[in-house]
Amino acid sequence: MSEEKVYIIPCSGIGKAFGGMCREAAYIVVNELAPEKAAIECLPLIVKGKKEVIDALKANKIITIDGCTAKCAYTDVRVAVREPDAVFMSTDIVKKHRDLKPEKDILILGENAKVLSRKLAENIAEKVDDLYIE
């Protein structure tokens, strides 16, 4: 965990497609778009205060992704670590693409939700680039 990374923290979003889109976008960033620069971390471990996780986050840049106005990832990271370096909301990408209404499926995202997640991931990957070279 000592390697320099931009940490991506999606909300858990268990019961909502908008939350699932946050996780999907995070996976696309860390697995496909910026695997050398980005890493994902588990929100419950942050809330639990696991020392190695908190130390890694304190030493690196942080991006949170939330699926609704409760902003669980943002709020929990701010309390347990510090203010994130960048924040994203999956609802913002939906507002920008009104033609792509996300389906309600949660376990497996629908086609529109997948397309929206990728668009969100592309925006996040651009921010990862910015933060990584700062």
CA distance 69 to 37: 28
Cβ proximity to ligand SF4: between 37 and 121 the closer is 121
Cα distance between residue 29 and residue 95, in whole Å: 21
Strand partners, 88: 65
Query: How far is Cα of residue 15 from the mean position of the Cα atoms in its chain?
Result: 16
In angstroms, give the least distance from the CB of 71 to ligand SF4: 6
Shortest Cβ 21–ligand SF4 spacing (Å): 9
Q: For residues 13 and 37, which CB has a smaller minimum distance to ligand SF4 in the complex?
A: 13
For ligand SF4, the closer CB: 37 or 80:
80
In 3D, which of 36, 48, 32, 47 has the Cα closest to residue 6?
A: 36
State in angstroms the smallest separation of the CB of 61 from ligand SF4: 21
Q: How far is the CB of 50 from ligand SF4 (least distance, A)?
A: 19
Binding residues (CB under 6 A) for ligand SF4: these are: 11-13, 16, 18-19, 66-68, 70-72
Q: Give the residue with the Cβ less far from ligand SF4, 68 or 100.
A: 68
Between helix 111-133 and helix 17-28 the angle, nearest 10°, is: 50
Q: How many CA atoms lie within 13 A of 134 on its CB side?
A: 13
